[in-house]
Structure 1
Amino acid sequence: MENARRTTLADVARAAGTTVPTVSKVLGGRSDVSAGTRTRVMRVVAELGYRGRAGRAVPPDAGRPPFVDLVLSGIEGTWANRALSGVERAAADAGVEVVVSVTRPPDDAWLTRLLARRLRGAVLALVDTTPDQLATLAAARMPVVLLDPVRQPPGTVPSVGAANWAGGRAAAEHLLALGHRRLGVLAGQRTHLYSQARVDGFRSAVTQAGLDLADDRVVHTDWRRAPSRARAAELLRGADGPTAVFACSDAIALGVYDAAAELGLRIPQDLSVVGFDDLPEAEWATPALTTVHQPIAEMGGAALRMLLRLGTDQPPEAPREELATRLVVRGSTAAAP
């Protein structure tokens, strides 16, 4: 039986309708390629499963400390600061330097910049990567680790996250123990993996308690405070509104606080609120927010250490590390009215 022939750069160039030098430019992060050609090459790389030759990645210059890139979906808020602090601390311990990049969807210029740098690898934090982008990084033999992946990563891509399902379940168990039976959830974007897991964990405890969490009691929003206020107000209005709400992030929970104030609801006397993340904002709120602690800095450190263990040939089944969450009880939850 003949062995399957290895996909070559020429195969990619032929399928993409371009030349071998142009494909090499795309995988090398060169900017002198049109956006349409780059997109076409990336798609073909994914379809054909092309991987560059071993040793293709250029090592750092002798005597120069290697660099890793931390790619963030945004730098606003304290989540990014905590992730950066964890990555930087672990990098300092390992003697490597950190470069920070920010994505600006739908532009994927961050990917071109990443490929153009002489890097040991990259940690992608909350970055909504496409299959084509991941395939391009693999083809260029750029090791990556996903930190809190937005979508379910392929089995070949390493990742580090939090125990989101268990955290959602802990939030429900706390509210149920306080006697709440009219429950609501203000979730993040429907397609985001960690939002789905938190809602599923919450729902599992509610169902086990013999209760029903109706679909109209789960409202989706984005992760910002201001839009969450309007969505929370929709959920809370009415005489039979929930007496307790689980918000899938602390920023969303603060939107619930704003909506409650607008509707004349007191926290926690009329409405109990549980968040998720345990950012500094949770303690600054009035009353202080009961929330699920997510070890963000520790996750960043774990992602960096995982990255440094990788070579340019990532294993067929990539590692997945999940760090524990825990409930932190503060003043925003009380017995059901």
Structure 2
Amino acid sequence: MAPGPEGTARTRIVDVAQASGYSPSVVSRVLSGKGDVTAQTRSQILAIAHELGYERHGEFRGRPSIPPKLIDLTFLYFDNPWTAQVIAGALKAASALGFDVLLTTEQDDANADWVRRTQSRGVAGAIICQIRPTSEELRLLARSRIPIVLLDPRSETSEAVPSVGTDDRQGGYDAGQHLAATPATRFIGLVGTPQYRFGRARMDGFVDAISTLRPGAKVEIVQIPWSHWHATQAVLPIIKATDDVIGIFACNDAMATGVYSAAAQAGKAIPTDIHVVGFDDEPTSRLLSPPLTTLKYPLREAAAAAVQLIADAAQGVAMPTERIEVPSQLIARGSTRTVSG
């Protein structure tokens, strides 16, 4: 160590390099906040620098250097209930683990590319919400040794990238199982277009349940855009043309509320003539009349699980390659009535 002020020893980059086992060039890049190193390498070097009392440029800066404690949370958009739940869950989990969360949005402007921004921040990792990164984006993040987790990706990825979400197929099966216990003799599944991964999985589970539990019952799958209005327009002519008791599963709550509008226009009663199940348990679902039976998507828990994966990776724990699923929960309310209930 070189002499410091008042005869004290000043820790140099070469001292940190010798103690850590890394080359001086690697240590220099980490201590300057620049360079392409793994989160684990950065964490080890900063911890040793702090232990040795390294002060950049020989100045006391009021607090020691510490490993990165920042998680990048990237969205397509922010102005919706889904995003609010994810942010709340991520912030709570990150705070408990001593991390901070940075919010990033994907933009069409090539100069504001989210991958480049994430690379420049020295984050411990990134949680990518509903976005399916391209192979090139994944390659760039891997080259920067930035751990990533996909939260509820809209499509499958061929790369071995960890993801977190709910068990959509089981949720769809639970919806079908519940509707099979109602007096309904005819069933309709409303699935959104574009056909995202989770929509297909939910509808597959629904069809499987009805086929298993109510063999021979008529099941009609209707593909519509993911909206209240389109659900109303699709369901209205169907329910007008029949006196059957109908059980309807909608792949999200917005489409389920569209069924309410169609029932009102057709003079049908929920749940006497129509039984409705949604998915997501958005806050408005319990305010409908009658309140909507739906599958609660555990978004906060899923976000917390994604944060935990990043925190583990920062400690050198290998990232899993399989999907981690948090179970959904059927919330039975007034829009359905089972035979026994």
- Pairwise TM-score range, normalised by the shorter structure: 0.7 to 0.9
Aligned length: 283
Cα distance change on mapping 1:235 and 1:322 into 2, 3 Å? farther
Q: CA deviation at 1:106?
A: 9.1
Aligned twin of 2:311: 308
SS of 2:189's partner is strand
CA deviation profile, 1:298-318 (whole Å, cap 9, x unmatched): 111001101222259996961
Work out which of the residue numbers 241, 249, 254 in structure 1 matches 2:252. 249
Relative to the length of structure 2, the TM-score reads: 0.74
C-alpha separation in 2, matches of 1:264 and 1:91: 49
CA deviation profile, 1:168-225 (whole Å, cap 9, x unmatched): 11111111111322100111235311111100100111111313655xx212233333
Check whether the contact 1:143–1:314 (CA below 8 A) recurs between aligned residues.
no
Unaligned runs of 5+ in 1: 1-51
Aligned twin of 2:52: none
Q: CA deviation at 1:63?
A: 3.8
Structure 2 residue 339 is matched with structure 1 residue 297:
no
SS of 1:302's partner is helix
Q: CA deviation at 1:228?
A: 3.4
SS of 1:75's partner is coil
Cα distance change on mapping 1:104 and 1:180 into 2, 3 Å? farther
SS of 2:336's partner is coil
Q: CA deviation at 1:99?
A: 0.8
Unaligned runs of 5+ in 2: 1-34, 47-64
The range that moved more, 295-304 or 97-106, is 97-106
Aligned twin of 1:84: 87
Aligned twin of 1:73: 76
Work out which of the residue numbers 198, 202, 205 in structure 1 matches 2:206. 202
Structure 2 residue 267 is matched with structure 1 residue 260:
no
Work out which of the residue numbers 154, 160, 166 in structure 2 matches 1:150. 154
What's the C-alpha RMSD, in Å, of the aligned pairs?
A: 3.0
SS of 2:117's partner is helix
Aligned twin of 1:41: none
1:1-337 matches, within 5 Å, as 55=38, 59=42, 62-63=65-66, 66-104=69-107, 109-209=113-213, 210-211=215-216, 214=219, 217-233=220-236, 235-239=238-242, 243-310=246-313, 318-334=321-337
SS of 1:167's partner is helix
Cα distance change on mapping 1:307 and 1:55 into 2, 3 Å? closer
Check whether the contact 1:171–1:274 (CA below 8 A) recurs between aligned residues.
yes
SS of 2:225's partner is coil
Cα distance change on mapping 1:124 and 1:213 into 2, 3 Å? farther
| Identical-pair percentage | 31
